[in-house]
Amino acid sequence: MASSFIFSDWPPHLTDAQQSYLTQLATTYALAHGLLYLPPSSSSSTPAPTSAIHAPLSILPSPFPRNLFQNALRLQKIYNVLYARIALDEEFLDTVMGEVAQVDEFTGQLWRSWKTLRDEGITEDYHLGIFRSDYLLHAPKDSTAPISLKQVEFNTISSSFGALSDCASSLHNYLLEATNYFGLSPYLTKDNLPPNGATNTVVEGLAAAHKAYGVHDAYILFVVQPGERNVFDQRWLEYELLERHNIHVVRQTFDDLRTNASLSPSRVLTLRNALPSSTSGSSDTIEISVVYYRAGYTPKDYPAPSHYALRETLSRSRAINCPTLALQLAGGKKVQQVLTKEGVLERFLLQSPKYTGTETAEARSSGPGEFTPADVALIRSTWVDMWCLSDPDPPDGVTQALAHHASLVLKPQREGGGNNIYHSSIPSFLSSLPASALPAWIAMRLIEPPQGLGGYLVRAGSGESNAARKDVVSELGVFGWALFGGPRKEGGVVRQGDGGWLVRTKGRESDEGGVAVGFSVLDSVLLVD
Ligand code: ADP
Ligand code: MG
């Protein structure tokens, strides 16, 4: 059913008094319920933090067509298996990312480490993927086509904001309960605020990997960036792991690990126990079951060659890496582009005898089981045109990009925001890009979110002074996980799970959308028909 909701009518008008009342309730709730960042100048290590600020937030949820939201959730079960199969397909990854590795230093480092480990024969360990597939609504100005769902990117490393997104959902539920939003909109009802559960999904994935490793007293290692301000999003996972699964977490930066981590001859990863001895029991080392990277997705995390060497050591260990090097490479934007080529998705989902029937019964019962052409069509319906700048077929990739630059974004193989080149900046950028770098860049059609949609956004720690009505764009992220590979090496998924989502809303004037980098705020879904 096509949505009849009129996006440009949203949000309902709030008087100044209503706006400041809601902002006061929202920021107080955020501070009381852990929807928080550390303040800008603080360090995440010693001395212990003494204050926090509320995260950037939206005081109203953002409208999303119910049928498209349900499709996005449904797609996740397919994506969990698809990306597991990609990560296990060495030949495919070698062809696609091996080529990028020749021209892009960061991809090259990761790919060469992966190759080294394969040459050593280390291919039989489990992979854990914690994924987030990101979407925008597409409603081109001059088209009568119904509004649709389009994928922005698929994240396989450091998929963040699961926990804070749960808090943002609770916040909007609370504001509705507390004020009924002054009866301003018939859409603002409990039934239209879908349940979230992203924290649970991420924690379930980590706990499943810990269990597969098989040493209950081992710790899960969170590899974190120095000075991380988004610590509460990570700590919530830690608290849940401890309280609900009795699993301990240790947080370390790459620099900490350079002095604290070691590998036994049988590849068991241990850390020097950082706890004061009176509380740490008898052992002065702890064994690591799972390495969960909330760092390592950007070259900035590897300032020296020894950081890459450390990543290789962690990957060599028997601890289950989330993600493995293969899975991080599978998340490359180049893979996203190659999947859109004719027959590639079909090979992974429908035609590969290598995979058919390899998922365990448990994975099949929680996922889609065998895939159908309808699944493939649903996935393809969410993709926009993409090509590689080094595509040779006439008109070649660069010529096409120049011709269509006004409706394109160019993306390198990077994560974390701030790396893309948008529309009007494309021609001058292309004129300075050496031909040798072209294989590392993809061109992607710009998705056109509904025009005239507004929101009331509150910046991090700003209280009510900066609550502002803005023209906005909302990006939906859907969480899922898969545990796959492993000693039986059947190639399939052992377990998977999904559920939970994130909405980030940004001012329309910004091309980029990161929350942590200050472009957008945490939001939630309001289902509309
Ligand atoms: P990163 O890995 O840095 O997060 P993304 O591919 O997610 O890179 O792009 C960053 C942001 O740029 C997105 O969150 C979105 O707001 C915007 N963006 C990316 N691709 C498109 C697109 N095809 N159309 C419209 N906006 C896009
Ligand atoms: Mg992104």
| pLDDT tens string 290-329 | 999 999 999 999 999 999 999 999 999 999 999 999 999 9
State percent of the chain over pLDDT 70: 92
Task: Catalytic residue, from 66, 77, 132, 506: name it.
Answer: 132
* 43-47, 143-147, 149-153, range with the lowest pLDDT: 43-47
Q: In whole angstroms, what is the distance from residue 470 CA to residue 11 CA?
A: 10
Write the CA distances from 143 to 138, 146, 360, 529, integer angstroms. 10, 8, 44, 19
Q: At what angle do helices 231-245 and 162-179 cross, to 10 degrees?
A: 90
Q: Is the CB of 386 under 6 A from ligand 1?
A: no
| Count of residues in the chain | 529
Nearest protein CA to atom 14 of ligand 1, as residue:
513
Q: In whole angstroms, what is the distance from residue 471 CA to residue 268 CA?
A: 52
Gap from CA of 143 to ligand 1 centroid (Å): 22
| Residue 504 annotated among the catalytic residues of the structure | yes
For the stretch 467-472, contacts whose Cβ atoms lie closer than 8 Å and that sit 24 or more positions apart, written own/partner, are 467/19, 467/20, 467/23, 467/59, 469/11, 469/14, 470/507, 470/508, 471/507, 471/508, 471/509, 472/62, 472/505, 472/506, 472/507, 472/508
Q: Is the CB of 513 under 6 A from ligand 1?
A: yes
Which of 212, 213, 222, 200 is closest to 322 using CA atoms?
Answer: 222
Gap from CA of 336 to ligand 1 centroid (Å): 13
Which of 82, 75, 79 is closest to 352 using CA atoms?
Answer: 82
Looking at residue 512, what is its pLDDT? 76
519 pLDDT above the threshold of 90: no
Q: Is the CB of 231 under 6 A from ligand 1?
A: no
Strands (E), 264-319: 269-272, 285-293
Q: Is the CB of 152 under 6 A from ligand 1?
A: yes
343 pLDDT above the threshold of 70: yes
Largest CA distance in the chain: 70
Q: Report which residue type is found at 78.
A: I
Looking at residue 46, what is its pLDDT? 61
500 pLDDT above the threshold of 80: yes
Gap from CA of 152 to ligand 1 centroid (Å): 6
Q: Which atom of ligand 1 is nearest to the CA of 333?
A: 6
Gap from CA of 277 to ligand 1 centroid (Å): 47
| Residue 415 annotated among the catalytic residues of the structure | yes
Beta carbons within 10 angstroms of residue 99's beta carbon = 17
* 281-295, 470-484, 494-508, range with the lowest pLDDT: 281-295
Looking at residue 263, what is its pLDDT? 97
Closest ligand by atom to 510 CA = 1
pLDDT, greater one: 328 or 494 = 328
Residue to substitute in 141, 153, 506 for testing ligand 1 pocket (most ligand atoms within 8 angstroms of CB):
153
Residue 166's H or E segment, with its range, is helix 162-179
Q: In whole angstroms, what is the distance from residue 458 CA to residue 59 CA?
A: 7
Compute the average pLDDT of residues 77-94: 95
Looking at residue 3, what is its pLDDT? 67
Tokens representing 265?
């001859």
| Residue 333 annotated among the catalytic residues of the structure | yes
473 pLDDT above the threshold of 80: yes
Backbone angles phi, psi at 458, to 5 degrees: -120, 120
Residue 348's H or E segment, with its range, is none
| pLDDT tens string 435-464 | 999 999 999 999 999 999 999 999 988 765
Gap from CA of 297 to ligand 2 centroid (Å): 12
Nearest protein CA to atom 20 of ligand 1, as residue:
152
Contact 225, 299 (CB under 8 A): no
Task: Catalytic residue, from 251, 294, 311, 333: name it.
Answer: 333
If phi > 0 it is left, if psi is from -120 to 50 it is alpha, else beta; for residue 500 that is left
Residue 355: exposed, middle, or buried by beta-carbon count in 10 A (0-12, 13-18, 19+)? Answer: buried
| Residue 180 annotated among the catalytic residues of the structure | no
* 72-76, 292-296, 370-374, range with the lowest pLDDT: 370-374
Contact 479, 159 (CB under 8 A): yes
